A and B are shown apart, each in its own frame.
Chain A
Amino acid sequence: MISKKDLLKEMNISYGQLYRWKREGLIPDDWFIKQSVATGQETFFKKELILPRIQSILELKDKYQLEELRNFLNPILSERNFTIKEVLALNEIDPFIAKKYSMKKEIFTIYDIILLYIFSINQDKLNFDEYLDYDFSVLKDLNRIAYILQINEYYLLITDLNTIIDQKINVYKKYRFEDVSSMIAKEI
């Protein structure tokens, strides 16, 4: 636990900033834990929650609008936004592929990350350049399944909610979005 006083000192922020972020919903109300001390009541925080949260707010606050900022801090993975820095920090994602994709967008969703993951670990089969025109964030459903199909020497990635694949076509790999996202969740 860390007291509010120590928190302000350690992060070099003011009471005004802290309470503004609380008001704006960037710090949840129930993170403020009131405890009795000799001088009356004081507020404490769980150190492992509040320190990284304030760090991210300080890093992001000048670059993004309040609504976007809220989404970066959203605990629900499917509604959350990610920065390129967060994407590059993920072990399985190839930084080269992520950087290429980030040329056209700077806010990423979990769907972007799922697809970047699939492309990263199947580089020998899939040519990412052929898919660069797509915006993966439109997929928006964790129930989807991505298939890598093998047609002779050629590999193709498809993803849809209801996919019927001709039995003559060989399904090389199959990824449930939900599985990939829960795997990514462990790293975040």
Chain B
Amino acid sequence: MKEDVKIAGANVFGGGEFRNVKISGAGKVTNDLSAEEISVSGAFKALGEVTAKQIKLSGSAHFEKNVKSEYFAVSGGVKILGNLNSETLKVAGEINCKGEVNSDEINIESTDSKLSNVYGENIFIGTKSYFGRRKSRKNQVQLIEATTVEVNQSEVDIIRGSKITVGANSVIKLVEYSDELILEDNAVVKESIKV
């Protein structure tokens, strides 16, 4: 049977296959890591590829390579230098991903995230709270492609999808949609094409 890893305090481990990895404090893994569940409260840094059924992070996390999981939830901040693949992605706080994000359901509640290419079925990026709306803070995204997309508080180069909703404090350079484009509040879409 696979072992558990538990870090309370600060520690470094070498990676491998585990059942549950639980870190409270600070943990660093120097090689590829695969586990059933990874839960972190505090700080986490992974130098290799990370694969897990569930990844739950609260605090700050840094992944140097690709991350793959069925369920990936962050409250706090996460930085990923590789790709992020998951079925469900939930972020409350901030996500910065250099590679592509590919997930069925994406819910990113944030006004400070930076993403390159985001792909999925249903994608929300922005804030759901009225008080979270501030003109000065915006997510920066290069490309979003999904069946339904809803964004606010965001600057996006291109959004492609069936049903697209652009909300408050957003500037989108190009929207390509097949069914519906909804503009709310002071949303700006510079160019839109119905395909």
Contacts and interface: CB of A to CB of B under 8 A. Distances in A.
Interface of A: 4-5, 9, 14-17, 19-20, 22-23, 39-41
A16 B121 contact: yes
B161 A5 contact: no
A15 B102 contact: no
B85 interface: yes
9 contacts: A5-B176, A5-B195, A15-B121, A15-B145, A16-B104, A17-B121, A19-B102, A19-B119, A40-B158
Contacts of B143: 40-41
A5 B195 CA distance: 8
Given A4-B145, A5-B176, A39-B158, 15 more contacts: A5-B195, A14-B147, A14-B162, A15-B146, A15-B147, A15-B160, A16-B121, A16-B122, A16-B146, A16-B147, A19-B102, A20-B104, A23-B102, A39-B174, A41-B143
B121 A20 contact: yes
Contacts of A4: 145
B27 interface: no
A14 B148 CA distance: 10
Contacts of B85: 23
Nearest to B193: A39
Nearest to A16: B121
Contacts of A5: 160, 176, 195
B195 A15 contact: no
- Provide the main secondary structure of the chain B interface: strand
Contacts of A23: 85, 102-103
B157 interface: yes
B120 interface: yes
A15 B158 contact: no
B157 A15 contact: no
Interface in B148-167: 157-158, 160-162
A19 B174 contact: no
A39 B174 CA distance: 8
Nearest to B122: A16
A41 B100 CA distance: 14
B120 A16 contact: yes
B120 A15 contact: yes
Contacts of B157: 40
A170 to B, nearest CB: 55
**Which 9 A-B pairs have CB atoms at the shortest separation, nearest pair first?**
A16-B121, A19-B119, A14-B147, A16-B147, A15-B145, A23-B102, A15-B146, A19-B102, A23-B85
Contacts of B120: 15-16, 19
A9 B120 CA distance: 17
B119 A15 contact: yes
Contact of B161 (A15, A20, A22, A40): A15
Interface string B72-110: 000000000000010000000000000000111000000
A22 B174 CA distance: 25
Nearest to A9: B195
B168 to A, nearest CB: 24
Interface in B12-52: none
A4 B178 CA distance: 13
A11 B102 CA distance: 21
Nearest to A19: B119
